[in-house]
């Protein structure tokens, strides 16, 4: 089977990074920098003893809850901002500032307000993911081609028909791009929450192995969450191409 050029370039890029990683660990670049082979061995060991699966189960709970809340309310609010000028005036400054601000600085405030349990972690995921989703959804609605809207009006379509049959289908590809970016931010948020609020799940593996200088295992935990996020985003990209962007299927 012949590989496509983009896939081949990705494989070459990964190969170069892994080779550089192995070489840097082999020459003793730092005592805290193991080789890729040592990291992979530690990763395989965590998979076999079940510790990685248990950690992911704890990490995925607040992540999935936070992403579900962010997607549901983020898309609704973004569409409302795109359709109603008053909503844009009210909510746009909040989410623009939230997207530009260092939101990780708010985590201690969330901890003070909601404790160190599930609620604070879910809120952390939401504040990282929702601004991206809202702003992209709002921009997608506002950038609907005027020619399509005028065509709907010329056929005597009602406002509701134009929104459901023209504006939303036209904006859906860009809305889905915002969802992918929001998911990526959500993964960042959950790791920050587990490192800064209370060490559980993957964050616990990272912080604990760092404290006992088990650097291959620490890097293996980091690598596992990177792999999980990449696979999740690749899956969403396949859905996007299949459902929203048929011209990109080839």
Query: In the predicted model, what is the mean pLDDT of the chain?
Result: 83
Tokens of 65: 């809850």
Asked whether residue 44 is assigned to any structural domain, the reply reads no
Question: Is 49 inside a domain boundary?
Answer: no
What is the rounded CA–CA span in Å between residue 246 and residue 238? Answer: 11
Q: Per-residue pLDDT for 47 more than 60? A: yes
User: Distance between CA atoms of 64 and 140, rounded to whole angstroms?
Assistant: 25
According to the model, what pLDDT value does residue 244 have?
65
Q: Is residue 244 part of a domain?
A: yes
Helix, strand, coil in percent for the chain, rounding step 5: 85, 0, 15
Contact 190, 125 (CB under 8 A): yes
- Does residue 11 fall inside a structural domain? no
- Does a structural domain hold residue 32? no
Least confident of 2-11, 27-36, 197-206: 2-11
**Residue 247: predicted pLDDT:** 53
Q: Whole-prediction pTM value? A: 0.81
Maximum mean pLDDT: which of 1-5, 65-69, 103-107, 121-125: 65-69
pLDDT at 147 > cutoff 60:
yes
Q: Look at residue 102 in the predicted model and tell me its pLDDT.
A: 74
**Domain range for 161:** 54-248
Residue 164 within a domain: yes
Rounded to 5 degrees, what angle do the CA atoms 201, 207, 213 make?
Answer: 130
Name the domain count of the chain. 1
Give the domain CATH number at 88: 1.10.3720.10
Residue pair 125/186 in contact by the 8 Å Cβ criterion? yes
Q: Kindly report, residue by residue over 192-230, the tens digit of the pLDDT.
A: 888 877 778 888 888 888 888 888 889 999 888 888 888
Find the range with the poorest average confidence among 97-106, 134-143, 211-220: 97-106
Is residue 56 classed as helix, strand or coil in its secondary structure? helix
Q: How far are the Cα atoms of 18, 75, 238 from residue 12, in angstroms, in the given order?
A: 10, 37, 21
- The answer to whether position 10 is within a domain reads no
pLDDT band with cut points at 50, 70 and 90 for residue 1: very low
Can you tell me which residue has the tokens 């709970």?
61
Q: Is 167 inside a domain boundary? A: yes
């Amino acid at each position: 089977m012949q590989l496509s050029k983009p896939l081949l370039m990705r494989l070459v890029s990964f190969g170069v990074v892994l080779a550089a990683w192995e070489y840097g660990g082999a020459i003793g670049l730092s005592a805290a920098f193991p080789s890729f082979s040592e990291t992979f061995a530690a990763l395989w060991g965590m998979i076999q003893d079940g510790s990685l699966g248990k950690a992911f189960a704890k990490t995925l709970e607040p992540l999935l809850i936070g992403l579900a809340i962010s997607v549901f309310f983020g898309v609704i609010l973004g569409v409302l901002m795109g359709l109603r000028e008053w909503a844009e005036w009210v909510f746009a400054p909040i989410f623009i500032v939230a997207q530009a601000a260092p939101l990780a600085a708010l985590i201690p405030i969330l901890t003070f307000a909601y404790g160190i349990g599930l609620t604070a972690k879910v809120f952390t995921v939401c504040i990282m993911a929702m601004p991206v989703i809202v702003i992209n959804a709002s921009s997608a609605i506002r950038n609907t081609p005027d020619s399509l809207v005028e065509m709907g009006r010329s056929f005597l379509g009602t406002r509701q028909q134009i929104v459901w049959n023209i504006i939303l289908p036209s904006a859906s590809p860009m809305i889905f791009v915002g969802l992918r970016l929001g998911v990526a931010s959500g993964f960042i948020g959950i790791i920050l929450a587990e490192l800064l609020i209370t060490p559980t799940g993957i964050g616990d593996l990272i912080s604990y192995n760092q404290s006992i200088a088990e650097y291959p295992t620490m890097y293996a935990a980091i690598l596992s969450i990177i792999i999980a996020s990449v696979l999740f985003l690749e899956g969403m990209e396949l859905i996007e191409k299949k459902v929203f962007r048929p011209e990109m299927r080839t």
